[in-house]
Homo-oligomer: A and B are copies of this chain.
Amino acid sequence: MNKKTEDILELIKSGEHIFLPNVSVDSVIFGYDNQELQVLLLEASNGNWMLPGGYVRKEEDLDAAALRNVVERIGVKDIFLKQFHTFGQRKRSFHKEIEQLFEDLGASIAQDLWIQKRFISVAYYTLVNKTITQPNPNFFAKSCRWHNARQLPKLLLDHENIVTTALDSFRADLASYPLAYHLLPQKFTMPELHAVFQSIYQKRLDRSRFQKKMFEYDVFERLESRVGVAHRRPYLYRHKQTI
């Protein structure tokens, strides 16, 4: 039995005393790259994909648990995080998957592990600047990768539905505040933000009107122009700090 296997078994064993039972948090981590909106997914040992998630410590705020799990997954603390829905179908569990995992590890399974029970999952979506993330898989995953948010692989449980719902919530929230800037580096140009919006809404937006609308929010401050680029130099902007 190797180190990783021992760690997994230890977590499963001690988890019962550390975490709240029957409650989990799942996160839809949105990133932007290559002109497309992406989602970070983990690959389970059986080849299926799933959302990053985790459990809530008994003495930990729900929001803190969600944040901790995302930070563990991408190594970045400066992220936008928002709860959007809680999923609680009655048969929502990883019963079979855990059973399979134990079989693969060559370990015998005690009956009805806490981790095999039904889980009510509170779902969050987060917006991160993908360029500074360092994704790494968790205990149960063998790899992790960014996927086009509209071309998802086969996902476990109701995770595809969670992604779809997250995207709907994100788009709705975007109508009242230009949150999408969180997907870009701290300094960005309007054409860049424009491209992000277009890939989120999946449709062409007029440049002129787009900039006017962004300025109306009065939350971005104009900095110097970007240097070293072809053609007319675009202004850089950053989100105003709420001091």
- State how many angstroms separate the Cβ of A20 from the closest Cβ of chain B: 5
A59 at the binding interface (Cβ < 8 Å): yes
Q: With A20-B118, A22-B20 in contact, is A62–B88 under 8 Å at CB?
A: yes
A-side interface residues, number (CB < 8 Å)? 23
Interface centre among A20, A64, A86 (most CB of B within 10 A): A86
- Give chain A interface residues in 80-117, CB to chain B under 8 Å: 83, 85-90
A86 to B87, CA, bound (A): 11
- Of chain B, the residue at the smallest CB distance from A63 is B88
Choose one: B23, B61, B86, B122; the contact of A89 (CB below 8 Å). Answer: B61
A120 touches B21 (CB 8 A): no
Contact with B along A50-72 (1 / 0, CB 8 A): 00000010111111110000000
Choose one: B22, B61, B85, B90; the contact of A90 (CB below 8 Å). Answer: B61
Contact with B along A1-37 (1 / 0, CB 8 A): 0000000000000000000111100000000000000
Chain A interface residues toward B at CB < 8 A: 20-23, 56, 58-65, 83, 85-90, 118, 120, 122
**Which 8 pairs between the two chains have the least Cβ-Cβ distance?**
A62-B88, A86-B86, A20-B22, A61-B90, A86-B122, A59-B90, A23-B120, A61-B89
A21-B22, A22-B22 known; 7 other A-B pairs, CB under 8 Å? Answer: A20-B21, A20-B22, A21-B21, A56-B88, A62-B87, A63-B88, A120-B122
Pick 27 A–B contacts, CB within 8 A, sort by A.
A20-B22, A20-B118, A20-B120, A21-B21, A21-B22, A22-B22, A22-B23, A23-B120, A56-B88, A56-B120, A58-B118, A59-B90, A60-B90, A61-B89, A61-B90, A62-B86, A62-B87, A62-B88, A62-B89, A62-B120, A63-B88, A65-B88, A83-B85, A83-B86, A86-B86, A86-B122, A120-B122
